[in-house]
Chains A and B, each alone.
Chain A
Amino acid sequence: EADIYQTPRYLVIGTGKKITLECSQTMGHDKMYWYQQDPGMELHLIHYSYGVNSTEKGDLSSESTVSRIRTEHFPLTLESARPSHTSQYLCASSEYLAGDHTGELFFGEGSRLTVL
Chain B
Amino acid sequence: AQTVTQSQPEMSVQEAETVTLSCTYDTSESDYYLFWYKQPPSRQMILVIRQEAYKQQNATENRFSVNFQKAAKSFSLKISDSQLGDAAMYFCAYRSRDDKIIFGKGTRLHILP
Contacts and interface: CB of A to CB of B under 8 A. Distances in A.
B52 to A, nearest CB: 7
B64 interface: no
Interface string A27-56: 000010100000011110100000000000
Interface stretch (B20-28, B70-78, B94-102): B94-102
Given A41-B106, A45-B101, A102-B52, A109 B43 contact: yes
Contacts, number: 46
A42 B47 contact: no
Interface residues of B, number: 25
Give the interface SS of chain B, mostly helix, strand, loop or mixed.
strand
A116 interface: no
A96 B44 CA distance: 21
Contacts of B89: 40
B47 A104 contact: yes
B40 to A, nearest CB: 11
A105 interface: yes
B109 to A, nearest CB: 12
A62 B38 CA distance: 25
Pairs of residues from A and B, 8 with the lowest C-beta to C-beta distance, nearest first:
A107-B45, A42-B105, A104-B47, A101-B95, A43-B103, A109-B44, A101-B33, A107-B44
